[in-house]
């Protein structure tokens, strides 16, 4: 999906990086914990959906070679974040929708979840049972 199409679908605005409106993103990852982004996303060019607006978000996007950052819940990045993103060539978009709705609309439009790094959770396979 092109960033321009994504912006139109969500009613989002380019904060910076409008010159990259034709950039394609084929996968997305949503998180407010930057450690989750670093620990889980295994591929490049992913759209990061977040409510975090600090320069650290752009730093993570830069390190992970992400395609763009989309701020949700009507949040708008700080001037320091905008300046850092412009220098790093990371497009920033802002939308008023909440994260859940944003992810649903993007998924429905064909944007798939980012591939995750392999990790294993050892969860019980059924309901907890009292000891006999």
pTM for the model stands at 0.87
**Is 26 within 8 Å of 1 (Cβ atoms)?**
yes
Nearest residue to 48 (alpha-carbon basis) of 35, 61, 39: 61
Amino acid 123: pLDDT: 55
Domains and CATH numbers, the chain: 3-113 (3.40.1390.20)
**Closest of 57, 55, 6, 53 to residue 36, by C-alpha:** 57
pLDDT tens for 61-90 read 999 999 999 999 999 999 999 999 999 999
Residue ranges in the chain modelled with pLDDT below 70? 118-132
Give the pair of three-digit tokens for residue 112: 């798939």
Helices and strands counted in the chain (H then E): 5, 6
Three-class DSSP category at 2: strand
Q: Which pLDDT value is given to residue 128? A: 59
* Phi and psi angles of residue 47, each rounded to the nearest 5 degrees, phi first: -85, 125
The whole-angstrom separation of Cα 113 and Cα 46 is 9
Name which of 49, 24, 29 is nearest 117 in CA terms. 29
């Amino acid at each position: 999906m092109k960033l321009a199409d994504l912006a139109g679908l969500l009613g989002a605005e380019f904060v910076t990086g409008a010159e990259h409106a034709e950039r394609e993103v084929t996968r997305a990852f949503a998180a407010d914990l930057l450690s989750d982004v670093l620990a889980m996303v295994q591929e490049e060019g992913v759209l990061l959906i977040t409510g975090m607006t600090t320069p650290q978000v752009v730093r993570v996007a830069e390190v992970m070679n992400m395609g763009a950052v989309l701020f949700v819940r009507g949040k708008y990045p700080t001037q320091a974040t905008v300046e850092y993103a412009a220098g790093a060539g990371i497009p920033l978009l802002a939308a008023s929708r909440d994260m859940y709705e944003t992810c649903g609309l993007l998924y429905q439009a064909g944007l798939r979840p980012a591939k995750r790094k392999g990790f294993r959770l050892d969860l019980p396979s059924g309901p907890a049972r009292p000891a006999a």
